[in-house]
Each structure stands twice: as structure tokens, then as C-alpha cells.
Structure 1
């Protein structure tokens, strides 16, 4: 169980640049495909806290990230990358200086930027 300050899940996904827009983050949260610590999420207003593990399907893979901190705004990708750790099995962690195309690799398939 994770305790402490929390942030709306849709805002975290958008602030951490795991979703291209807040409305896409809300849609992902309400799709019942995203999980926090193994529990299905069905509301965008669900609180996420540091230490929580988020997972969602993307194609044949499952993206897994651990929340390391809670951002207070949407900053540049290099800054946003510090708020989570990629735990996806079989994939090397994305470096802070990775290109934008690497950022899209974490996005759910339906929400990937064109």
C-alpha cells in the first residue's frame, strides 16, 4: 500500500508525458485497461502516489512504469522522465536524452502520436 500526497491519474499521465493530451489520458483511465498496483482503474480522478506501479497493454506488450514522484506542471520531456521508471520487461529503460520517438514507445497504441 502506498501512502502520501496524491495526484489525479490523468494529470500524472499528461504531466509525465505518458499521454499526448489530458483528454487522451482521461480516455485511457476510463477504458479499464490501465491498472495501479494490479487494480483496474475506471476513473480519471483516481489518485496516484509515488511508489505506485502503473501498467497498461500496448499491442502485444504491457507497459509497466513505477511512479517516482509527482510533478506540479507539464515540463519538457527530459524533466518529465524523472517522475517515473520504465519497468517494462524486455525493454531497455529510456534515457533522459532520448529522442521524441522513444517517448512515443510508452504511449498506448491508440494514443501514439502520428
Structure 2
């Protein structure tokens, strides 16, 4: 009888919301699920609406985080929500570097300080008595 070759082990998969939480992109799993349900996450350039979508190593995720658009490739599914250095090993960050923003112009009409107000009051009172 011929020995059967072992079947290839299927790649480990995990829920999308759980992975986003494990990788510390969101503070709670509920926030991650809300982001996915809102249609704000893409897996391999396809919009996903279900937090239970299965993802695994090699998948590319695109999502908004604050004012930035993050692009990450999943390296490992993860086993737990560990410390930040451990979470950073779960993905490769492919986010393009941010363009430097122009510095904010200084405000010309800033509020006067208490010292400035006292000086203005002194000028006002001097003009009234003259």
C-alpha cells in the first residue's frame, strides 16, 4: 500500500477585528469591529464589511488611523494581545512616508498677557485724568 502524503497544513487564519486589536491598531476589539463594519477597512484592495472576515499571513490591509492611511501586510496571525514590541512583529508597515506639512503661521492677534492688559489700563486711566 502506498503511503499517503500528508495534506498541506492550511495557513492560520484569524478574524479581522481580532487581528487589528492584537496588532494594537485599535484600543478595543469593539472599536476595530466598528471600523470594519463601517466599511473603512480593505483587505487586498477589497472593502470588507464583516468583522469576522478571516485574514492570514500575506494579506494587505488598508485603513484609516487618525489623519493617516495605514497600509500593512500581515506577517503572523498572533496568539494574544501582547506588548507593543510583540504586536509590531505581526505586520510589515508599508505606509508611504508622510509629506512634511508646512508650519502653521504665527498668530498676529494673540491674546494680550496680564502685563499687557495692565499697561493698556494704565494708558487708559492716564488719558482719562488728563
3-state SS of the aligned residue for 1:78? helix
User: Which whole-Å deviations, capped at 9, do the CAs of 1:21-74 have from their partners, x for residues lacking one?
Assistant: 000010011010100000001010000110000001346542101101011111
1:54 to 2:61 alignment: yes
**RMSD between aligned residues:** 1.5
User: Among residues 5, 10, 22, which one is paired with 1:15 in the alignment?
Assistant: 22
Query: Which structure: larger Rg?
Result: 2
Q: Which has the higher contact order (CA 8 A, sep 6+)?
A: 1
TM-score, length-scaled by structure 2: 0.64
User: Which whole-Å deviations, capped at 9, do the CAs of 1:63-87 have from their partners, x for residues lacking one?
Assistant: 1011010111110011010000110
Unpaired runs of 5+ residues, structure 1, are: 92-114
After TM superposition, the structure 1 = structure 2 runs for residues 1-114 of structure 1, keeping only pairs within 5 Å, are: 4-58=11-65, 61-91=68-98
